[in-house]
Amino acid sequence: MKINQLTQKEKSTSFENSIEHLHAKVQQWISEIEFVKIEQNFLKELLGEHIIGLCETDNYTKAKLLLNGIEHETGLGNKLIESLKEHKINLALLLENIYLKKEDTFRNNHKLLKIEVNNYIENFKYIKEQVFELVLLVMRSEKEKKLLSE
């Protein structure tokens, strides 16, 4: 029994280090960034069409900064997706036993891309949090004004 368990653990570790796993991970990252792009478009629409007109001076400035941040992150996301697609092609070629001499280079590139993807997603989460806080603040202010006018 212990031999089978050890073998199963070894198989799991082996897959995690395999080119197939790296290839699947890159596809997952691309999907995550594509979803972030949808969220970015939603946040731009939310800020641009619905919030900026309601903002007071301080909040207006913050909303504009957040819009600029989203635009900047969108550009970075597009570049990151291109890098990931190129990396995915290289991994696919490696799977076909082409570029075998460059495997270490591709593995190192994978590690760097992992850091970039994580940083990108963390930056987006921060911007999203800031947008939500601003929207909540503006909504509460509008609700308060509405209640006072009644």
| pLDDT, tens digit (0-9, with 9 covering 90-100), for 31-41 | 999 999 999 99
The position carrying tokens 């806080």 is 133
| Residue 97 maps to a domain | yes
Average pLDDT over residues 88-104: 85
Residue 14 belongs to some domain of the structure: no
3-state secondary structure of 21: helix
120 falls within a domain: yes
Rounded Cα distance between 10 and 141, Å, is 58
pLDDT-derived band at 57, boundaries 50, 70, 90:
low
**What confidence tier does 142 reach under pLDDT thresholds 50, 70, 90?**
confident
pTM value is: 0.80
Domain annotation covers residue 10:
no
Residue-number span of the structural domain to which 74 is assigned: 19-149
Pull the structure tokens for residue 81: 């997706």
Most confident of 10-19, 58-67, 73-82, 94-103: 73-82
For residue 2, is it within any domain?
A: no
**Is the predicted pLDDT of residue 71 greater than 80, yes or no?**
yes
Q: For residues 70 and 75, what is the distance between their CA atoms, to the nearest angstrom?
A: 9
Please state the domain count of the chain.
Answer: 1
How is residue 95 written in tokens? Answer: 């799977």
